[in-house]
Structure 1
Amino acid sequence: MRIQQLGTTNRFFLTDGGLETYMIFDKGYELPCFSAAVLLDTAQGCADLTAYFERFIGIARRSGRGFILDAPTWRAGAAWAGPLGQTLKEVMETNARAVAFVTALRTEHETPELPILINGLVGPAGDAYATDATLSRQDALLIHAPQIHALGRAGVDMISAMTLTHAEEAIGIVQAAKEIDLPVVIAFTLETDGRLPSGQPLEAAIAEVDAATDAGALYYMINCAHPDHFAALLDPNALWTQRIGGLRSNASRMSHAELDNAEVLDDGDPVELGALSAALAERLPNIRVIGGCCGTDHRHLGCIAGHDPARSAA
């Protein structure tokens, strides 16, 4: 299985940055419901997606790393069909088209030295910055299973559920992925105090999901938070931190409320973010993937790629 490549190297894979913020603030798109999947509907949108991903693939190639290539499906789940003006069938077809799009990019760029994994993105059913749509695990399973099964049929190597706000939704997502034996990553978003928007500590959320799913997630990721918001909480000697396998940090130190109301993109300091990400990779024993989230682009990932704890320790 391709997914095994994540465990055969002590050098983390790269992924991309903040796709939606880049397309809105740098390319001038209006993305309904913050959905990058709508870019697949036009030739120009596809061209801009191609250019975006190829820039990151080039960084991975030059740094000698593998790459996690995301299908732009974060806001293409069943819960978003109505807000996007689509039927459930249409939004599932969007998922299939998204996977076909990134799979074609992999076919063009993958080499033995540049392994590429196709990752289907799953987003929360509600607001990624608040718990306005808290779900039970049963409801989460029902809501997310159609998209997860569609991504599996389309041929993804794995899925990542990003910017989750509470543990119950994560449990339903893991259960849906386990139904079809699809590797699943759970990425929680954190507030400036290092807790989930639900108020739960990250350690407790990971423990709850693992207990309910027999440790069914491949690993956990932190995304959509600046390293300063959570770095102090991560004890490298604690057992729970060994379950953290990915980081996709924000460039900005702003809170989610501040980011939500911002009219100008805060892209932070790419060099600083690269150094902070590298420091976390050195502290955390099982980091497999590092990328960016809101406000990050090729500059930030270039700085992250420039740091290599594995090589410096060799």
Structure 2
Amino acid sequence: MTSGSFALPSSDGTVFLSDDGLETTLVFHEGVDLPCFAAFPLMRSEEGRSLLERYFEPYLHTARQRGAGFILDTPTWRANRDWGAKLGVSAQDVAEINRESARWAHSLRKRMSGDGAQILVNGVVGPRGDGYRPDAQMSAAEAQAYHAPEVEAFREAGADLVSAITMNYAEEAIGIARAAKAQGLPVAVSFTVETDGRLATGETLRSAIEGTDRETGDAPVYYMINCAHPSHFDGALADGEPWMQRIRGLRANASAKSHAELDEATELDPGDPQDLARRYRDLRQRLNLSVFGGCCGTDHRHIVAICDACLT
């Protein structure tokens, strides 16, 4: 599939990289104060936008050096109505920040892709509630209505695709996928799982993926797993089953700790970049992976190690 003049991740073997755990890197490595773990307020100042550019540049350079495409995320994981209200940002301003984030990503792409590098502007849609707990649960119809303004803002600003990131129950993923389909935007869906390989609701990864496909007419262009260590979900994968071939992206945590442990942590656990990279390599042999990135606790070292393990 394509979006504009750019090919989307598919089964043709084209590899895309993404960044690491944006929020954890900014908080623990850069010392940035992110109330509610929200990066989108950085878009409201020149200093904040410059900080985000400096964050993304090493990953964009690595993708170019390795001949890979790049999924350039907007810093909007928390940019919805509820989180905006917690931060004193109106729904109207949240919508404008989503549009501005996509426009900013287009500008960064233009500056970084002079040699023809394939960079996709990805509008990130995060959970309404907490990424680790299935609070504020909605029906699929409610989730579609709730997240539609975010998806519409990304479409208006020309995003190449949108991604539902850190989904911990299926109905919210279904709603976002339906909202993107209604706006004519390609959509990816990324689920997170607990240490037992199941979503926080107890639903299996297989059930969530098959259910989302069934309820959206196979709308997602691909699925991902994020914000979990490979050791948490490796045992939940069953080789040879069709649903597994829908998983094309992986953005794992550096740490093998549970979500509950990470939520209480006051120090970053970077894990072992080389061990994580080996786990990615093993999973690539089992899955149809074409998107490689990181999540909580990972940094540029992890992405380089993953490239060395999977792209050579």
Q: What SS class does the counterpart of residue 86 from structure 2 fall into?
A: coil
Shift in CA distance, 8/192, structure 1 to aligned 2, threshold 3 Å: closer
Identity %: 46
Deviations 1:242-287 (A, max 9, x none): 1111100000000000000000000111111111112211211x21
Task: Work out whether residues 63 and 306 of structure 1, in 8 Å CA contact, stay in contact via their aligned partners in 2.
Answer: no
Task: Work out whether residues 27 and 34 of structure 2, in 8 Å CA contact, stay in contact via their aligned partners in 1.
Answer: yes
Q: 1-side partners of 2:66 and 2:108: how far apart?
A: 19
The match for 2:208 is: 205
TM-score, length basis structure 1: 0.95
One-letter identity of the residue aligned with 2:190: A
One-letter identity of the residue aligned with 1:238: E
Structure 2 residue aligned with 1:56, among 53, 59, 63? Answer: 59
Q: What SS class does the counterpart of residue 230 from structure 1 fall into?
A: helix
Indicate yes or no: 2:305 matched with 1:306: no
One-letter identity of the residue aligned with 1:205: A
The match for 1:34 is: 37
State how 1:224-243 maps to structure 2 within 5 Å.
224-243=227-246
Structure 1 residue aligned with 2:28, among 16, 25, 28? Answer: 25
Give 1:91 shift.
Answer: 0.6
One-letter identity of the residue aligned with 2:153: A
One-letter identity of the residue aligned with 2:244: T
Q: 2-side partners of 1:24 and 1:147: how far apart?
A: 25
Indicate yes or no: 2:134 matched with 1:131: yes
One-letter identity of the residue aligned with 1:211: R
Structure 2 residue aligned with 1:297, among 296, 299, 312? Answer: 299
Task: Work out whether residues 40 and 75 of structure 2, in 8 Å CA contact, stay in contact via their aligned partners in 1.
Answer: yes
Give 1:112 shift.
Answer: 5.3
Q: 1-side partners of 2:5 and 2:164: how far apart?
A: 19
Unaligned runs of at least 5 residues, structure 1: none
The match for 1:144 is: 147
Q: 2-side partners of 1:65 and 1:111: how far apart?
A: 15
Deviations 1:202-252 (A, max 9, x none): 001111111111111111110000000011222231111011111000000
State how 1:250-265 maps to structure 2 within 5 Å.
250-265=253-268
State how 1:27-176 maps to structure 2 within 5 Å.
27-111=30-114, 114-176=117-179
The match for 1:177 is: 180
Give 1:77 shift.
Answer: 1.5
Q: Between 255-264 and 58-67, report the one with greater CA deviation.
A: 58-67
Shift in CA distance, 270/92, structure 1 to aligned 2, threshold 3 Å: same
Give 1:3 shift.
Answer: 4.7
Give 1:53 shift.
Answer: 0.3
Indicate yes or no: 2:276 matched with 1:281: no
Provide the aligned length of Structure 1 versus Structure 2. Answer: 309
Unaligned runs of at least 5 residues, structure 2: none
Q: What SS class does the counterpart of residue 213 from structure 2 fall into?
A: helix
Q: What SS class does the counterpart of residue 208 from structure 1 fall into?
A: helix
What's the RMSD between the two structures over aligned residues? 1.4
TM-score, length basis structure 2: 0.95
The match for 1:15 is: 18
Shift in CA distance, 165/71, structure 1 to aligned 2, threshold 3 Å: same
Give 1:5 shift.
Answer: 4.4
Shift in CA distance, 251/16, structure 1 to aligned 2, threshold 3 Å: same
Q: 2-side partners of 1:239 and 1:9: how far apart?
A: 17
Task: Work out whether residues 74 and 123 of structure 1, in 8 Å CA contact, stay in contact via their aligned partners in 2.
Answer: yes
Q: 1-side partners of 2:83 and 2:224: how far apart?
A: 23
Give 1:41 shift.
Answer: 2.2
Give 1:119 shift.
Answer: 0.3
Give 1:49 shift.
Answer: 0.8
Q: 2-side partners of 1:156 and 1:6: how far apart?
A: 15
Q: 2-side partners of 1:261 and 1:8: how far apart?
A: 39
